[in-house]
């Protein structure tokens, strides 16, 4: 794979995430596909760690996704193995055997049951993954486990990503400091209505697995499920959360516990920041765009319209060209198939009203709008004037960079 230039939307610096009690990790170079970079992450959790997860709804999910789906109901986790360079997807019975072998190697290295091992793989689809490569590597990796620095696992899981993605929150509950650390990868094959490519979140909060699962699924909806880079949904989308319970607090065992709301909000912030990082590292991205739809007949309808706009190649190329082409936004509203009344439509770029009552706004200011479109973070709002439904989808522009990256990915 050719190296691609770092996204202009990359953060200027990366957060120095703190240790989370009960979580250790190390990375290694297994040489799966890339040279001279880490491509395997081994993470260990102390006994008593609970797990929750959201997985791709693709009908062609990867072997690792199938593995996680089978282990999640157990709710317990002791280890996580992630590799980049090969997705182990569409690899048939070979893929299933490869996953079983990897889990066995990891369970042995960490001294736990294979049902407590979670797996994720990302990279090219359709190539068999040789799990024997993990044999020596994971054993050796298990001897180097540390609590920091978190940028290392974020780097090991990258594929076409141009920057590592980290986010964390430290909150205080009943005077006790609680930490949430998250990492993510992904910059292509990203579409909402599923989870993201790969994201892992850990916390020391004592929280029951079912509560964690509910909070994760809820806040996934407005973070990873609300982003799209290219409308293509991965076979491998995996969002996993692990709670070690090491913070000195009584566990949250019910959503009615008022601390569930506080913890959930901090979790939501971490998920949202990671999701936005994914968009900002969208393949070829030069602009980040928030597409707001308001006044729809329902939130679901608003979401589908926002997604139609955010997925439209014509809208995305116009944004790349810094053209406030509201005609293409109208087109995307029209094709969404949701209730819309052309003559009630209003469209704003930032605070600038470009269209109102189904036609160009009387006070439309081409100069001001053109100046606004030169920004790196753009807000596009469509008001339908039909009801109270609203939703936001986050995306990036569509540039020559996307074509370049994806015209030569496999070779």
Residue 99 CB neighbour total at 10 angstroms: 27
In the bound state with a second copy, the residue whose beta carbon lies nearer, of 144 and 410, is 410
228: annotated active-site residue? no
How does DSSP assign 148-165, residue by residue? --THHHHHHT-SS-SS-E
Task: Decide whether 119 or 197 has the Cβ nearer to a second copy.
Answer: 197
Exposure of 113 by Cβ count < 10 A (0-12 exposed, 13-18 middle, 19+ buried)?
middle
Considering 122, 141, 196, 286, which one is annotated as catalytic?
A: 196
Only segment of 38-46, 92-100, 201-209, 262-270 that touches a second copy (CB under 8 A)? 92-100
**Quick check: 166 and 159 in contact, CB under 8 A?**
no
* Binding mask of the shown chain, residues 333 to 352, with x at each position contacting a second copy by CB under 8 A: xxxxxxxx-xx-x-------
H or E element, residue 183: strand 176-185
Of 149 and 327, CB closest to a second copy? 327
Residue 381 binds a second copy (CB under 8 A): no
Residues 272-331 that bind a second copy (CB under 8 A): 311-314, 317-318, 320-321, 323, 325-328, 330-331
Cite the DSSP H helix spans in 285-336: 299-311, 313-320, 326-335
Of the candidates 112, 332, 353, 393, which one interacts with a second copy according to CB under 8 A? 332
Structure tokens at 335: 């094709």
Rule CB under 8 A: which of 170-189 touch a second copy? 188-189
3-state secondary structure of 233: coil
Size of site (CB under 8 A) for a second copy? 73
Q: What are phi and psi of 126, to 5 degrees?
A: 100, -10
Contact letters (x/-) for a second copy, 213-242, by CB under 8 A? -----------------xxxxxx-------
Q: Output 75 or 334, the one with its CB closest to a second copy.
A: 334
- The two tokens of residue 253 are 């065992």
What's the closest the beta carbon of residue 2 comes to a second copy, in angstroms? 12
CA distance 376 to 91: 40
The only residue of 5, 16, 60, 70 in contact with a second copy, by rule CB under 8 A? 60
**Active site positions, annotated:** 196
């Amino acid at each position: 794979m050719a190296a691609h230039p770092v996204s202009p939307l990359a953060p200027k610096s990366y957060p120095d995430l703190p240790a989370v009690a009960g979580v250790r990790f190390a990375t290694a170079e297994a040489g799966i596909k890339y040279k001279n970079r880490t491509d395997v992450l081994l993470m260990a959790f102390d006994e008593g760690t609970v797990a929750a997860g959201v997985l791709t709804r693709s009908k062609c999910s990867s072997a690792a996704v199938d593995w996680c789906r089978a282990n999640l109901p157990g709710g317990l986790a002791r280890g996580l193995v992630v590799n980049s360079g090969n997705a182990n997807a569409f690899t048939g019975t070979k893929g299933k055997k490869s996953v079983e072998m990897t889990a066995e190697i990891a369970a042995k290295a960490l001294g736990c049951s294979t049902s407590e091992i979670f797996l994720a793989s990302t990279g090219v689809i359709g190539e068999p993954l040789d799990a024997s490569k993990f044999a020596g590597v994971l054993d050796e990796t298990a001897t180097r486990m540390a609590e920091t620095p978190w940028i290392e696992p974020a780097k090991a899981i990258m594929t076409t990503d141009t920057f590592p993605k980290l986010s964390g929150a430290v909150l205080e509950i009943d005077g006790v400091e609680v930490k949430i650390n998250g990492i993510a990868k992904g910059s292509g094959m990203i579409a909402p209505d599923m989870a993201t490519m790969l994201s892992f979140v850990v916390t020391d909060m004592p929280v029951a697995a079912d509560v964690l699962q509910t909070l994760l699924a809820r806040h996934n909806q407005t973070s990873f499920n609300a982003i799209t880079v290219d409308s293509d949904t991965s076979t491998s989308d995996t969002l996993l959360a692990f709670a070690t319970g090491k913070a000195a607090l009584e566990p949250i065992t019910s959503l009615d516990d008022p601390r569930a709301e506080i913890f959930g909000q901090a979790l939501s912030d971490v998920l949202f920041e990671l999701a936005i990082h994914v968009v900002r590292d969208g393949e070829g991205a030069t602009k980040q765009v928030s597409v707001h739809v308001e006044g729809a007949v329902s939130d679901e309808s608003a979401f589908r319209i926002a997604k139609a706009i955010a997925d439209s190649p014509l809208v995305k190329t116009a944004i790349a060209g810094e053209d406030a082409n509201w005609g293409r936004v109208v087109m995307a509203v029209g094709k969404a198939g949701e209730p819309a009344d052309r003559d009630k439509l209003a469209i704003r770029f930032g605070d600038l009203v470009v269209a109102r009552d189904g036609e160009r706004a009387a006070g439309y200011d081409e100069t001001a709008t053109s100046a606004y479109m030169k920004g790196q973070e753009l807000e596009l709002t469509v008001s339908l004037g039909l009801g109270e439904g609203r939703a936001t989808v986050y995306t990036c522009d569509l540039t020559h960079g996307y074509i370049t990256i994806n015209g030569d990915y496999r070779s």
